[in-house]
Chains A and B, each alone.
Chain A
C-alpha cells in the first residue's frame, strides 16, 4: 500500500549557497516506510545530490541521527507513521556545523569524548584470565555501554547550544561508563576532568538528552549519579 507524502528537507550545498534552504519533495511511498527509506527513495530516484549518512539500518551504528518534525531520531529505525499528518520536516542534527545537507561535522563531538579519557585505566597487574566482576557490578555499566555515539543527546542539549565548550551528555556518559566500572583505576583523574564548569555542572537536568536517546539510556540519571560521586568524594 502506497501513501502520498510531502517531505521538507533542509538542504545545504556548500559549493552553491551561503545558507541552508528548505526543499519540498512530494512522493508516493509504501505505508511502512522508515525515514531512511524515504531519504533513499529521494536520493536513488529523484535527486541524487541529497547527502546523508547511513549504514547499518538496524539502529546500532549511529550514523543516521537527524531531526525529524522537531525530534532527534535515528532515521533507520523510525517509521514515518510515528509522526502525525502527511508532512515530514527533516533537518540535520542541531548544534553541529553542517557539511552538506543532513551531514554534520562531528569532529568536536569525538574530541570531547577523547577529553574524558574514554578507555580503561589499569594501575594493577592483569590476571592470567579475566578480572572477576559480579553480575551486579556488570549491571552498573551495562546501560551506559549501549551508547552508539550517534550524537542525538548532545545535539538536543540546550546547555550545549548556549556554550559550545560544554562536554555534553555523550562525553559525560562515557566518563560514567568507566567511573562505575569495578575494574577501572582512573576514577580520580576522570572526576577531576568532569568536575568543571564546562563539565558536570553545566548540566541543568533538562532531560532532553534522555528523551532524544534512541537506546533509551537514562543519561540525565547517570550525570546525576556522577554529581553525587563528586560531592561524596570531596567530603
Chain B
C-alpha cells in the first residue's frame, strides 16, 4: 500500500478535525445526542496542546469576590482593544458558567474554596478573580476529563491521522481526506458536517510556547480551498516564556502575586500600567518587557527579564504553582523558591483564524455567507471573540463553550441534511502533493529543517512584539524565497510507517502558506491595536481601522479586504482609550 493511494472510504455524520478542548467538547455534544462522530487527530487526544494551558478557565461564578456577566463582557471587550465582536462576547460570557458547571459534573478536579466551591484566582485584564483553576494544570485536567467522557460515549477516534485536504465544492463541505501517519495510506471521510478545531500555529515562530504539533494545518487547508482567513496579523506574545525555550510559565504565577523585575531589580510595570501592574493584559506586559530589554534594562544586557515568586513562599508555590516551579528547575536549573526565573515574551496564541459567524459556521465573505456543513471552534477559529488581544483563561472557555455550541449546531444541521455528493476525484490533489514530496526523497537538495528554522527566526524578528514597514517588507521577501526553496526541498524517509519526515515536510508547507498572510495583513494594518504594534504607526486608529481583515490566497498573491464590520453595541460599550 502506497502512502499516496486511497486505502479506506468512510461515511460518517460528523467529522471533527483536532482533539483538543474544542474538538472533544464538540464530539461529546454530538455523541450525547446520539450522532455518529469521528475525531481525527494528528496526536493521541490527551497529547493535544489544550493540556498545556495552566492557569484557569474564565467564568463569572463570583465564588470568591463579586462579579457579573456585564463585567466579564466589558473586560473581554477592552482586552480585545475593541476589535472583538460584542454579540459573540455577550454569548460567550452568558454560556461560560454553564460550561464550567458542566465540566465539574463530568468530574473535573477543581481546586476548592474552604466552603467546597470551585476556587478562582485573579488573571491579567480581568477585574475580578474569575479564573476557575486546578492548581496550575487546568488545561490538563479539562482535556483528560473530556477524553474520559468521550470514552464513555464511545466516540470513534482516528489517532495519528493528518488531514491533508478539505473537500469543499460550491461552498458546500463534503468531508476531508486524511493520511494515516502510523501505517501510511489515505482515507476519505465523507461527512455531512465537518468541524475544524486544529488549534494554533505558534510553530511559525522561533520562540514559542506552542507544541511541535501546532502548525496551523487547517488554516492553510482553508486557504488552499480558496477560502479566506481573518485577522491573522493579531498574534499574542505571552509575557512569561522560559528564557530561550519559550515554554509557558502560567500567568497564574502573576495572578498569585508574582513580580516582574528588570535587570536593575525594579518592578518595571509601574511605568507601563500603574494600576494593574503585573496583571495588565498580555499585549501590554509583553511590550513592556521587550521595551526594557531593547533599552538595555534586561538582565546583564541579555534578552530577558525576571519573574520573581520568592515572596510567595514555598507553601504557596508548591500548592498553587507546582508545574511552574518544576519547569524552571528542569529547564533552567532555577529553584523559584530561592531565585527569580529568567523569562521573555513567547509566541503563544492566534486571535485570528478561520472566519466564522456566532453559530461557529465557517463563512466565506465579508457579508457572512456560510460554507454549508463546515464549522470551526477554538484557537483555529476567528468568531471574533478575542479581537486584537485575548485575556488569559478566556481561551479554555472559548474552546469549550464554542466547541459545545458547535456540537449543538452541527447536530441540528445533521438531522435534516442528506450526505452531499462527493467531488469526482477527491484524491487527485492530495495524492499529487504527497507524491511530489515523496519523489524527492533521498535526492540532493536542502532538508526541510533549515527552511523551517529560517522562517521561525525571521518571523520572531520581524513579526514579533514590535513591527514596522521596513522589517515586514524584508520578511515578505524572505517568506517568498523560502517558499521557493521549499519546492526544491528533499526528505530522507521513503517509508510508509510513521514517516515523521514527510509529516514535518507537509507541516512546513502549511507554515509557509499562512505566514505569508500574517505578513501581508500586518503590513497593511497601519495602526497599533492589541497585540499588533507598529512602531511606525504607534496609535490606534478607529476612524480607518475599526474593521476585521479578510485574506485570500490567489495566484497573484494575498488579497486583503477590510470591509468586514466589527459588531459594537455603541450604547453599551463604545470604544474608549485603553488604559490599565
**Distance A142 CA – B106 CA, assembled complex (angstroms):** 16
- The answer, among A61, A106, A184, for a CB contact under 8 Å with B107, is A184
Cβ of A118: which chain B residues have Cβ within 8 Å of it?
148, 151
B457 within 8 A of partner (CB): no
**In the complex, are the beta carbons of B107 and A45 less than 8 A apart?**
no
**In the complex, are the beta carbons of A99 and B107 less than 8 A apart?**
no
Scoring A48, A51, A99, A137 by chain B CB atoms within 10 A of each residue's CB, the highest score goes to A48
Scoring A43, A55, A62, A77 by chain B CB atoms within 10 A of each residue's CB, the highest score goes to A55
**In the complex, are the beta carbons of B492 and A126 less than 8 A apart?**
no
Chain B: minimal CB distance from A29 (Å): 15
Cβ of A100: which chain B residues have Cβ within 8 Å of it?
495, 497-498
**In the complex, are the beta carbons of B500 and A56 less than 8 A apart?**
no
**In the complex, are the beta carbons of A132 and B116 less than 8 A apart?**
yes
**A15-B496, A119-B107, A119-B151 known; A62+B112 contact, CB < 8 A:** no
A141 within 8 A of partner (CB): yes
Q: Mark B243-268, 1 if CB is under 8 A from A, else 0.
A: 00101100000000000000000000
A176 within 8 A of partner (CB): no
**In the complex, are the beta carbons of B44 and A106 less than 8 A apart?**
yes
B149 within 8 A of partner (CB): yes
**In the complex, are the beta carbons of B117 and A114 less than 8 A apart?**
no
A60 within 8 A of partner (CB): yes
Chain A: minimal CB distance from B24 (Å): 13
A22 within 8 A of partner (CB): no
Chain B: minimal CB distance from A74 (Å): 10
A54 within 8 A of partner (CB): yes
**In the complex, are the beta carbons of A60 and B109 less than 8 A apart?**
no
B413 within 8 A of partner (CB): no
**In the complex, are the beta carbons of B330 and A77 less than 8 A apart?**
yes
**In the complex, are the beta carbons of B498 and A99 less than 8 A apart?**
yes
**In the complex, are the beta carbons of A44 and B105 less than 8 A apart?**
no
- The answer, among B46, B145, B447, for a CB contact under 8 Å with A44, is B447
B118 within 8 A of partner (CB): yes
At the interface with chain B, which of A143-151, A152-160, A217-225?
A143-151
**In the complex, are the beta carbons of B117 and A59 less than 8 A apart?**
no
**Distance A113 CA – B152 CA, assembled complex (angstroms):** 12
**Distance A178 CA – B144 CA, assembled complex (angstroms):** 13
**Distance A21 CA – B115 CA, assembled complex (angstroms):** 59
**Distance A149 CA – B247 CA, assembled complex (angstroms):** 21
A-facing residues in B501-533 (Cβ within 8 Å): 501
**In the complex, are the beta carbons of A142 and B109 less than 8 A apart?**
yes
A-facing residues in B74-124 (Cβ within 8 Å): 100-101, 104-107, 109-118
A-facing residues in B7-50 (Cβ within 8 Å): 43-44, 46-49
**Distance A212 CA – B426 CA, assembled complex (angstroms):** 46
A134 within 8 A of partner (CB): yes
- The answer, among B44, B112, B497, B501, for a CB contact under 8 Å with A99, is B497
Q: Mark A114-137, 1 if CB is under 8 A from B, else 0.
A: 100111101000101111111101
B327 within 8 A of partner (CB): yes
Q: Mark B218-260, 1 if CB is under 8 A from A, else 0.
A: 0000000000000000000000000001011000000000000
**Distance A169 CA – B499 CA, assembled complex (angstroms):** 31
Closest residue on chain A to residue B148 by CB atoms = A119
**In the complex, are the beta carbons of A146 and B137 less than 8 A apart?**
yes
**Distance A192 CA – B137 CA, assembled complex (angstroms):** 31
A208 within 8 A of partner (CB): no
**In the complex, are the beta carbons of B498 and A103 less than 8 A apart?**
yes
Chain B: minimal CB distance from A90 (Å): 15
**A59-B327, A61-B52 known; A45+B46 contact, CB < 8 A:** no
**Distance A79 CA – B332 CA, assembled complex (angstroms):** 10
Chain B: minimal CB distance from A12 (Å): 10
**A52-B500, A77-B330, A132-B115 known; A126+B105 contact, CB < 8 A:** yes
- The answer, among A13, A15, A55, A181, for a CB contact under 8 Å with B109, is A181
**In the complex, are the beta carbons of A132 and B148 less than 8 A apart?**
no
Closest residue on chain A to residue B182 by CB atoms = A99
Chain B: minimal CB distance from A131 (Å): 6
A20 within 8 A of partner (CB): no
Closest residue on chain B to residue A16 by CB atoms = B495
**In the complex, are the beta carbons of B105 and A54 less than 8 A apart?**
no
Chain A: minimal CB distance from B242 (Å): 8
Q: Mark A73-97, 1 if CB is under 8 A from B, else 0.
A: 0000101000000000000000000
Closest residue on chain B to residue A120 by CB atoms = B107
Closest residue on chain A to residue B141 by CB atoms = A145
**A55-B49, A77-B330 known; A45+B449 contact, CB < 8 A:** yes
A138 within 8 A of partner (CB): yes
A63 within 8 A of partner (CB): yes
Cβ of B46: which chain A residues have Cβ within 8 Å of it?
61-62, 148-149
- The answer, among A43, A110, A148, for a CB contact under 8 Å with B501, is A43
Cβ of A117: which chain B residues have Cβ within 8 Å of it?
152
**A55-B43, A61-B43, A119-B151 known; A50+B500 contact, CB < 8 A:** yes
**Distance A199 CA – B65 CA, assembled complex (angstroms):** 46
Chain A: minimal CB distance from B356 (Å): 26
Closest residue on chain B to residue A82 by CB atoms = B330
**In the complex, are the beta carbons of B492 and A48 less than 8 A apart?**
yes
Closest residue on chain B to residue A109 by CB atoms = B44
Cβ of B561: which chain A residues have Cβ within 8 Å of it?
none
Can you list 17 A-B pairs, Cβ within 8 angstroms, ordered by A?
Answer: A13-B495, A13-B497, A16-B495, A43-B449, A48-B491, A48-B501, A55-B49, A56-B49, A60-B51, A61-B43, A79-B330, A117-B152, A131-B104, A131-B105, A138-B112, A148-B46, A183-B107
Minimum-distance CB pairs A-B, first 7: A48-B492, A120-B107, A44-B449, A132-B116, A48-B501, A119-B148, A61-B47
Residues of A within 8 A of B (CB): 13-16, 43-45, 47-63, 77, 79, 99-101, 103, 106, 110, 113-114, 117-120, 122, 126, 128-135, 137-138, 141-142, 145-149, 178, 181, 183-184
17 more A-B contacts (CB under 8 A) besides A56-B211, A100-B495, A120-B107?
Answer: A43-B501, A48-B501, A55-B49, A56-B47, A60-B323, A62-B47, A63-B43, A106-B44, A120-B105, A129-B117, A131-B104, A145-B134, A145-B137, A145-B141, A146-B137, A148-B46, A148-B51
